[in-house]
Structure 1
Amino acid sequence: MVDEALSRRREVKPVILAVDDEAGVLGAVERDLRRHYRDYRVLGAGSGAEALEALRRLKQRGVPVVLFLVDQRMPQMTGTEFLAQAMALYPEARKVLLTAYADTEAAITSINRIGLDYYLMKPWDPPEQHLYPVLDDLLEDWAASVQLPYEGIRVLGTLWSAPSHQVRDFLARNRIPYRWLDLERDAEAARLLSTLGSERPKLPVLWFPDGSSLEAPSPRALAEKVGMKTQASQPFYDLIIVGGGPAGLGAAVYASSEGLRTLIVEKDALGGQAGTSSRIENYLGFPKGLSGTDLARRAEAQARRFGTEILTPREVCRVRAQDPYRIVELEDGSELTCHAVLIATGATAQRLAAPGVEELTGVGVYYGAAVTEAALYRRQEVFVVGGANSAGQGAMFLAGYARKVTMLVRAESLEKGMSQYLVDQIRAQSNIEVRTRTVVGEVQGEGRLEALTLRNLETGHSETLPAAALFLFIGAVPHTRMVSGLVEMNSAGFILTGTDLVREGKRPGGWTLQRDPFLLETSVPGIFAAGDVRQGAVRRVASAVGEGAITVGLVHQYLKTV
């Protein structure tokens, strides 16, 4: 009976609801939708009131609604007015207006008022060009973000456990859905734990849909269990990209689309530091902004579509040159060979040197991770350290959950290191307090963070305040260990490229080619660097993506000489 019930539940299709008072138009919309979206149930309604009644019945039955496609000009209730009410029932559903040219202003107003996702001009023929691409993108977004009826991985652990945090963070950053069960709060967790038959299982424990479980798994063991690719399919590639942040993903899309056999090796999760951002609002082409997770998901799908192979979580320990090839050595000693390598490893989070930080990391103290942990600190007081965009984005995201967010900024103002749009948002947010010229002197707690000692750099005054969580966005150091001793770097460890390698007209030592290094080429021909790992890089997502794309053109030029 249980299996039967689960089977019936899986057969429930998410609903696409079309609303238009003109019967002919509504029929045409339903016809086009049913022809293309067979995995969804398409419903139609001739008015806003009829549609709302249908939504109430669907809600009572627990049927998910994925998208509204609504005419703006309807009597009694406009499309915008309907969507405003429908959001109360299905806030996650995507919202699209059908408009005439005269309704453009109403559509713009809807974007600001109700978060309209898109508006389409009538007529939309041919749907293959004007309708389906837009809806495909919105449906993919919905599927990636909505909380569906649960049938997946369950993670059992304790909130104040660094290993539990690490597993949750790994799953979240790799966009693997899971259900969290707190052993200290959930009766179901205790019952599940007792089924293992072990008196002291290692936490966290993960249960999978096939009935199997893992105790405190390593990232690689977990990745293999959930079906992530951890082994390369071939020994040789045209281009191996070390690092799957915006620069690496940008390079992969262009390289694969241009026919290069391309492999990305990423040690944590695709998206890099940008992937942990709760909201990127100044990225071209996304007027409503997008999260780092969304950006990584879209870029990954695009790269895979063109044939990029992705290994994660795998770490590159060493890169070496063996002309005319470049060798990449992985953490298990295995090696991959290629024509060219791109180092796009970005930077590793800078550690906060204050007493108590190391002991409480993962149990109240987090490097980034605002997206992963924010919901755990509802109606509590949390602190954010940092004055750059990542700190501002984290503070804004946390403000949607916490009672109060206090930003601790070393500089004398936010404007010193943050985009103005973020500064304005933070100042308008009533539950964010900004303390400038303030640093963390010490963190305190037994088994979890309980308090912070703050020090004012101008007055020297210190005070201790209770704290539920501390999120650190304090900059980063370049992750370049795999090319240490191979390519030239500056004193801080950032890789030198292009013109920075030519001093007084002389090329770098050991350079054998009769040309200067290309713009993003290192001191070793065929090894390139892009993004935050490179000296002189502009630390913006768009810049990293652009550098990744530029690198591919330079790789083509290099390959002509191999």
Structure 2
Amino acid sequence: MAEAHHGALVVVCRDEIPRLATVRELKRRYGGDYVIIACTRAEEVPGALAAWGHPPVAALLGGLGEEDPDGLAVLRALHARHPSALAVALVRWGAWETTRPIFEALTLGQLDRWVYAPEEYVDEEFHRAVTEVLDEWTSRQGSGREAVVMIGDRWSSRAQHLRDQMTRNRIPLGFYEASSPRGQALLDGLELQSPRLPVVVMRFHPERPVLQDPTDLEVAEAFGLFEPLDPDAVYDVVVVGAGPAGLGASVYAASEGLSTLVLEAEAVGGQAGTSSMIRNYPGFPTGITGNRLAFSSYQQAWAFGSTFHFMRYAQGLHTEGGLHHVALSDGTSVRGRTVVLALGASWRRIGVPDLEALTGRGVFYGAAVSEAPAMRGRHVFVVGGGNSAGQAAVHLSRFADRVTVLVRRAGLSETMSDYLIRELEALPHVDVRPRAEVVGGRGTEFLESFTVRDLDTGAETEENGVLFLLIGSEPRTDWLAGTLARDRWGFLLTGSALTAPDADPAWSLERPPALLETSAPGVFAAGDTRQGSVKRVASAVGEGALAITLVHAHLAAARVAAAR
């Protein structure tokens, strides 16, 4: 019987009223797909699961309140036995004394969610919360749906890149090692002679096209994303980049009636899209994955009417006849009355040749969420002290046997949010090693070992494990050198910074530049690419929205000037 169910929902609660109500609602709504198990004590859970053939536990709903004062401790103990499940506190509405312990447990990563026990039949607020829990669990496990199948070598840099791109773009993907029996059977079924790996099969497409070692453009074309743009079109605003700032700009521009084109060379979300969990974004008290936040914003902008153009890099910008021309990597160009540059940033390279040669094979830049499940049984080292590094360490700790955070500073307090520091400190198999730097490494097919130097003593040690490098970012503005004013690190100068004596090129108009305006009038910058930006998702979205306010003002001034 257990084989017919997707998983188990386990309710552990001594308080009879919320327990019975919760079980009733769970059975009515989810009983066809999930085993619903009710217990009054944690000791009853193993036997109850055994009676159903040990189905995977999707969620542990533990009572917390007057009759369950130890509810959080019970949940922690159960969660240790079922780490892939989501831990959910179950409380009665109005039990305000439970709020502080719940918020503390969320901060420390000891709890995933909380829900109010249903008070009546068809409690849709309760079911909305449960659905979010199940959606998150299914996302972590893999939905089982395979719209695209990829066969390749796991540690091939090309296969890793394509997996990461598809995961970030929320494409249901099945990946199979070419050397595995299943991978070999799939290749045999495709009847390919000496296939060039990775092989990508578009199962969702009626014709099921098969691509061998495809380029990004070939993948985009197979997905139907290679739609040509009207060469005569002039957009009110061209947004370059679909990270938080670019998505914020595109949502507000399109919703306010501006014709909007968004150019994105990789995946929506930028660096933020790789974050496994963002807990400090307003409106999401239990957190939201960067991928989900980015994709929801993308859908919102698309629904408002923004046009998205994927897999093309912007590589040139010039102004002619009052219009801005953006040259693209496929040889085409687009025109806009204004431009918002939301280019984001790329991960700073470590600069150790032996490690650079092993990128994708034990050395990863960024969180590499698609690789996290492959870290089971390994010791993972996360290099970096910012929020992205902290979020990566927390996520990887769900899979790896041990996680060590290496940071150059004496601690994390100057660079990482307090909630993340406390969460890392609470995780039993995560440790932080301050004043440490990776200076060398070796390996052939995969990273075998690397050298860590103590910055205080100079002593060096050899470590074995996998490296995830999140050591800061560099703006993607090289293609704008000589076109727009930048600082010595490559960040775009905007607003009052353009009136400084050393700004090159200098501001050319008599009016002062707008707050986010670059040295080219009508071209604005938002998010991480701009000098002085705050490296937070919410601030990037806010800058994108603010840029559209400035776009409106620029377009209005242009209309007035044209009417004279």
> For this structure pair, what is the TM-score category when the shorter chain's length is used for normalisation?
0.7 to 0.9
Distance verdict in 2 for CA 1:140–1:515, change over 3 Å: farther
Matched, 1:521 2:484: no
> Offset at 1:68?
11
Does the aligned pair in 2 maintain the 1:497–1:534 contact within 8 Å? Answer: yes
Letter in 2 for 1:535: Q
Corresponding residue of 1:369: 367
CA contact (8 A) 2:10 2:38 kept: no
- Inter-partner Cα distance in structure 1 for 2:37 and 2:194: 60
Give the Cα separation in 1 of the matches to 2:76 and 2:460: 49
Question: How do residues 203-352 of structure 1 correspond to structure 2 at under 5 angstroms?
Answer: 203-209=197-203, 211-228=208-225, 231-232=228-229, 235-352=233-350
Secondary structure, counterpart of 2:170 in structure 1: coil
Q: Which residue of 2 aligns with 1:555?
A: 551
Letter in 2 for 1:450: E
In structure 2, distance between residues paired with 1:523 and 1:126? 55
How far residue 535 of structure 1 moved from its aligned partner, in angstroms, is 0.7
1:172 equivalent to 2:167? Answer yes
Residue segments in structure 2 that go unaligned for 5+ positions in a row: 559-564
Shift in CA distance, 242/120, structure 1 to aligned 2, threshold 3 Å: farther
Aligned partner of 2:148 among 129, 150, 153: 153
1:342 to 1:14, Cα distance in 2 relative to 1, 3 A? farther
Q: Is the 8 Å Cα contact of residues 281 and 537 (structure 2) preserved in structure 1? A: yes
Corresponding position of 1:200: 194
2:186 maps to 1:189: no
Identity of aligned residues (%): 36
Would you say the 8 A contact 1:247–1:531 is kept in 2? yes
**Mapped pair 1:494 → 2:498:** no
What's 1:533 paired with? 529
Residues 319-377 of structure 1: per-residue CA shift (max 9 Å, x gap): 21113211112111111111110011111111111131221111111111341212112
8 Å CA contact 2:238, 2:263 repeated in 1: yes
Partner amino acid, structure 1, of 2:549: G
Measure how far apart 1:386 and its partner are. Answer: 1.3
SS of the equivalent of 1:520 reads coil
CA RMSD of aligned residues (A): 4.5
Relative to the length of structure 1, the TM-score reads 0.80
Distance 2:519 2:329 in 1: 24
Are the counterparts in 1 of residues 241 and 264 from structure 2 also a CA contact under 8 Å? yes
Residue type of the partner of 1:177? Answer: P
The structural deviation recorded for 1:16 is 12
Tell me, what secondary structure is at the counterpart of 2:557?
A: coil
- The one-letter code of the counterpart of 1:308 is S
1:463 corresponding residue in structure 2: 461
Q: Are the counterparts in 1 of residues 7 and 35 from structure 2 also a CA contact under 8 Å?
A: no
1:273 match: secondary structure: helix
TM-superposed deviation, 1:418: 1.9
- 1:389 Cα deviation after fit: 1.6
Which sits farther off after the overlay, 112-121 or 171-180? 112-121
Matched, 1:436 2:434: yes
The separation in 2 between residues aligned to 1:338 and 1:215, in whole angstroms, is: 37
Please give the alpha-carbon distance, in whole angstroms, between the structure 2 residues aligned to 1:82 and 1:530: 46
Change (3 A) 1:525 1:59: farther
Q: Which moved more, 1:204-213 or 1:334-343?
A: 204-213
- 1:545 alignment partner in structure 2: 541
Q: Partner letter of residue 203 of structure 1? A: L
- Could you tell me how far apart the structure 2 residues matched to 1:458 and 1:94 are? 41
Cα shift at 1:14: 12
> What is the alpha-carbon distance in structure 1 between the residues aligned to residue 314 and residue 377 of structure 2?
41
Q: 1:230 to 1:16 in 2, by over 3 A?
A: farther
Cα pair 1:223 1:230 within 8 Å, conserved: no
Identify if the C-alpha distance between structure 1 residues 104 and 157 changes in structure 2 by more than 3 Å, giving closer, same or farther: same
Question: Match of 2:157?
Answer: 162
TM value normalised by structure 2: 0.80
Q: Which deviations, in whole Å up to 9, do the C-alpha atoms of 1:491-544 show, x marking residues without a partner?
A: 1111000011123799974623x4211000011111000111011111111111
- Counterpart in 2 of 1:3? none
Alpha-carbon separation, structure 2, partners of 1:294 and 1:188: 30
The more displaced of 340-349 and 311-320 is: 311-320
> Equivalent residues in 2 for 1:1-12 (5 A)?
none
* Contact 2:482 2:505 (8 Å CA) reproduced: no
Give me the whole-angstrom Cα distance separating, in 2, the residues matched to 1:298 and 1:42: 26
Residue of structure 2 equivalent to 1:402 = 400
Letter in 1 for 2:342: A
| Aligned equivalent of 1:473 | 470
**Aligned mates of 2:313, 2:167 — CA distance in 1:** 19
Note if contact 1:230-1:313 (Cα within 8 Å) is conserved in structure 2. Answer: no
Give, in whole Å, the separation in 2 of the partners of 1:61 and 1:384.
34
Cα separation, 2, equivalents of 1:334 and 1:162 = 29
Moved more, 426-435 or 106-115: 106-115
Cα pair distance change 1:106/1:499, threshold 3 Å: same
Distance (whole Å) between structure 2 residues aligned to residue 46 and residue 462 of structure 1 = 53
Partners of 1:425 and 1:437 in 2: CA distance = 21
Q: 1:279 to 1:201 in 2, by over 3 A?
A: same
1-structure distance, mates of 2:429, 2:62: 36
| 8 Å Cα contact 2:9-2:36 kept in structure 1 | no
Q: Is the contact made by 2:113 and 2:286 (CA closer than 8 Å) also made in structure 1?
A: no
Residue 107 of structure 1: CA displacement?
A: 7.5
Q: In the superposition, relative to structure 1, how do residues 527 and 452 fare at CA in structure 2: closer, same or farther (>3 Å)?
A: same
Alignment check: 8 A CA contact 1:264 1:308 kept: yes
Q: Which residue of 1 aligns with 2:562?
A: none
Distance 1:198 1:146, change over 3 A: closer
Distance 1:198 1:560 in 2: 59
CA distance in 1, matches of 2:351, 2:321: 42
Shift of 1:479: 0.4
Deviation at 1:153, TM superposition (A): 1.8
Q: Distance in 2 between matches of 1:321 and 1:314?
A: 20
Q: Aligned with 1:189: secondary structure?
A: helix
> Does the C-alpha gap of structure 1 residues 16 and 387 become closer, same or farther in structure 2, counting only changes over 3 Å?
closer
1:258–1:133 distance in 2 versus 1, CA, 3 Å: farther
CA distance in 2, matches of 1:476, 1:401: 26
Q: Deviations over 1:403-443 (max 9, x none)?
A: 22222222222223222222222233232232222212211
The corresponding residue for 2:561 is none
Instruction: Give the counterpart letter for 1:171 in structure 2.
Output: M
